[in-house]
Structure 1
Amino acid sequence: MKMRFLLPCLFLAVVSQATAYGQSSRGWVNLFNGKDLSGWKQLNGKAKYEVKNGEIVGTTVAGEPNSFLATQKNYGDFVLELELFVDPAMNSGIQFRSESRTDYQNGRVHGYQAEVDPSARAWSGGIYDEARRGWLYPMEINPLAKNAFKNNQWNKYKIECIGNQIRTWLNGVPTACLVDDKTPEGFIALQVHSIGKNDQPGKQIRWRNIRIQTSGIKAAPADRIFVVNTIPNYVSPLEKAQGFSLLWDGKTTKGWRGAYKKTFPAKGWAIENGELSVVKADGGESTNGGDIVTESQYAAFELKFDFRLTKGANSGVKYFVTESEGNKGSAIGLEYQVLDDEVHPDAKLGRDGNRTLASVYDLIKSKRPANVLRPIGEWNQGVLRVFPDKRVEHWLNGQKVIEYTRGSKEFLDLVAISKYKNWPNFGMAPKGHILLQDHGDRVSFRSLKIKML
């Protein structure tokens, strides 16, 4: 992927409403003249779009696919503001930096979408990649913002795109921050979601006060919401402001060594194209290059890491590794399991699925939602949070799948019936190394980032 210059976020001051369509007030330009759909075109489905009482009204039509009312112009860097009022029983979204090309699914609209979700799921303000990669910023990442959307009221959206940084606000609440360089510019579109042939048509969404600023824009200051960053081995300015740094530099073995060793393994690991990979061997545990560990030890931290599996592969990310048990196979520690559940037999071993992907290996089964895992050969993001009060969380692609407390009765009871029952004080070290496991299968890692908690 190409790296583009990314400005840090800066909050924009509230600016007075533009006085006339096509005219600007402090750089703002109205995209809707309040009278007709000049400057817009309809794409894909045949939902009904019309102008009533100075508003754009979208109405569902049975059996129609997703419909979009798109700007005729494309926009790259901008700040967009609009208000919307949606039927609580329907779904919608605001497309931006989006495209419709004959060479992509016969013109299907695709690109970034700010979600409009009145349902109990409450993912309004999240970022979805329409007809392409799916969810990029699900709102489980930022649960405090799930209450920002108000049903049966006008809701104000703000979308800021500057360079690779994309941010959304809903009713003044920061909802999403995405660093991504897939599409640098495209149109803006108002979605009426598809409904089935047998669904009741006629549900409506209304839009008003649609305006954009493309010159003299400034990015907002850093806040504390989670940053999803898809650019490999790159710490964005906002992540730096939150305290993140690279745990692996994407190029060398600096900061890492073999478990129980003073140097990095001479074989068994490969560094290519910004990826740190286990070299395919015999599928045995620590029989080729062996595990690698950080030179530093960590107590309370947040770790982000991308991983990519090959078919049937097994690996893991371990934490609180002390290397105190002696050089016998893989080093011991709590483990975020990395596994092809569909093929590798280990997924069916253990107890009640506690060896499946994103589980605490042999202790706690991952509560993984359906379809959250991306297919074999694609990159997934894991997040591991270890708090000072001994709480631990495992996350996968923006969904929390594990939460437990080291040293609790529940934790100790699980250790007592696991393969670790004979290890004194298993998982209770005050600090330890972070480990990437060599299980003899090709597994790749990148974008390893850490901050202290």
Structure 2
Amino acid sequence: MNILRFSANQCCALILLCFFGCFGVGSAAAQTQAEKDEGWISLFDGKTLNGWRVNENPETFSVKDGAIVVNGNVSHLFYEGDVNNHDFKNFELKIDVMTFPNSNSGIYFHTDFQEKGFPGVGHEVQVNLTHTDWKKSGSLYNVVNVDKAPAVDNQWYTQHIIVKGKTVRILINGQLLYEYVEPNLKKDAERGQFISHGTFALQGHDPGSKAMFKNIRVKVLPN
């Protein structure tokens, strides 16, 4: 499969064809000893939200059967644990995800804790397979938008985010969706919706959306 590269003039709505034919629907495995040996570090203990901080509507997040369950009013759960002092620049992040019909969520990177609302800092990688929002799982929201669902509801799949320098690569179940290279952007502030550094966050989108996350692991890459 060819690697798609996107830069300054290619950041609008994109059509990626034949997802099911190319990707299939796999099951997501737990972190293996090989991954640990390769430098992967778990950010979620599977039992509690220790190391994570929720902002508004904390009831939106709970832990059940080894997974973070997201279901409720708008809320965001930020990683504030000890790994790399919860400040990541170059990294790989793998999260096993399950969505349900009409659910919408997201995974943020290079973000900061904020008391309420949708994060104004960092990028969101979309989690959505059947919600009415046409931007589907794997989209770098409003930057590189994927309009074909790369997995199916009610099954675990692995969402893999790689950031190195100004390059973002997104994989679903081990298959590369695209590679995005951030152009030289005019920046009015040090932090915003662009590649910089920061922590991760999970999104609670609305009461009708339910998603689950487990096996959250990161590999810190050299700067």
Amino acid at match of 2:62: A
Aligned to 2:68: 276
- 1:255 counterpart = 2:44: no
Q: Name the structure 2 match of 1:363.
A: 143
Q: Which has the higher contact order (CA 8 A, sep 6+)?
A: 2
Q: Give the equivalent residue in structure 2 for 1:297.
A: 87
> What CA distance in whole angstroms lies between the structure 2 residues aligned with 1:381 and 1:392?
16
Q: Hey, what's the Cα distance between the residues in 2 that align with 1:236 and 1:425? A: 35
SS state at 1:345 partner: coil
Q: Match for residue 220 of structure 2? A: 452
- Structure 1 residues 422 and 278 mapped into 2: Cα distance closer, same or farther (>3 Å)? farther
TM-score computed with the length of structure 1 as normaliser = 0.39
Q: Which residue of 2 aligns with 1:71?
A: none
Match of 1:230 in 2: 29
| Structure 2: gaps spanning 5 or more residues | 3-23, 81-85
The answer on whether the counterparts of 2:67 and 2:214 sit within 8 Å (CA) in structure 1 is yes
| Distance in 1 (alpha carbons) for counterparts of 2:218 and 2:94 | 6
CA contact (8 A) 2:25 2:151 kept: no
Contact 2:46/2:66, CA 8 A, preserved across alignment: yes
Q: CA deviation at 1:266?
A: 4.4
Larger radius of gyration: 1
**Could you tell me how far apart the structure 1 residues matched to 2:63 and 2:193 are?**
30
Q: 1:241 is matched with which residue?
A: 37
CA contact under 8 A between 2:107 and 2:127: conserved in structure 1?
yes
2:162 is matched with which residue? 385
CA distance in 1, matches of 2:99, 2:180: 26
Give yes or no for the alignment of 1:376 onto 2:148.
no
1:436 is matched with which residue? 202
Tell me if the contact between 1:322 and 1:429 (Cα under 8 Å) persists in the aligned partners.
Answer: no
The one-character-per-residue Cα deviations of 1:417-443 (angstroms, maximum 9, x if unpaired) are xxxx98775234632110000112111
Q: Where does residue 426 of structure 1 map in the other structure?
A: 192
Q: Which residue of 2 aligns with 1:397?
A: 173
SS in 2 for 1:230: coil
2:153 maps to a residue whose letter is I
| 1:304–1:382 CA contact under 8 A, matched in 2 | yes
Q: Distance in 1 between matches of 2:173 and 2:147?
A: 13
- Whether the 8 Å contact between 2:129 and 2:152 is mirrored in structure 1 is no
Superposition pairs of residues 342-361 of structure 1, within 5 angstroms = 344-347=131-134, 355-361=135-141
Cα pair 1:373 1:380 within 8 Å, conserved: no
Per-residue deviation, residues 5-37 of structure 1 (Å, max 9, x unmatched): xxxxxxxxxxxxxxxxxxxxxxxxxxxxxxxxx
Give, in whole Å, the separation in 2 of the partners of 1:443 and 1:249.
Answer: 18
**Cα deviation digits, residues 177-228 of structure 1 (max 9, x gap):** xxx9xxxxxxxxxxxxxxxxxxxxxxxxxxxxxxxxxxxxxxxxxxxxxxxx
In structure 2, the residue matched to 1:313 is 103
User: Does the CA-based 8 Å contact 1:306-1:445 persist in structure 2?
Assistant: yes
Is the CA contact (8 Å cut-off) linking 1:367 and 1:401 kept in structure 2? Answer: no
Separation in 2, partners of 1:309, 1:135: 13
Q: What 5-or-longer segments of structure 1 have no aligned partner? A: 1-119, 122-133, 137-179, 181-228, 348-354
Q: Cα–Cα, structure 1 residues 360 and 429, in superposed 2: closer, same or farther, change >3 Å?
A: closer
Q: SS at the partner of 1:267?
A: helix
> Aligned runs of 1:115-154 on 2, under 5 Å?
none
Separation in 2 of the partners of 1:430 and 1:376?
Answer: 32
CA RMSD in angstroms comes to 2.8
Change (3 A) 1:327 1:271: closer
Equivalent residue runs for 1:181-260 within 5 Å: 230-231=29-30, 235-259=31-55
SS at match of 2:36: helix
How many Å separate the matches in 2 of 1:241 and 1:423? 38
Residue 256 of structure 1: how far off its partner (Å) = 0.6
Q: 1:243 to 1:367 in 2, by over 3 A?
A: farther
Judge conservation of contact 1:367–1:402 (CA < 8 Å) in 2: no
Moved over 6 A (4+): 421-424
Whether the 8 Å contact between 2:137 and 2:150 is mirrored in structure 1 is no
Change (3 A) 1:340 1:429: closer
Q: Distance in 1 between matches of 2:108 and 2:212?
A: 15
The percent identity for this pair of structures is 27
Tell me if structure 1 keeps the 8 A contact 2:123–2:195: no
Asked if 1:330 is matched to 2:118, the reply is: yes
Q: TM-score, normalised by structure 2?
A: 0.75
CA contact (8 A) 2:112 2:199 kept: yes
**Structure 2 counterpart of 1:267, one-letter code:** E
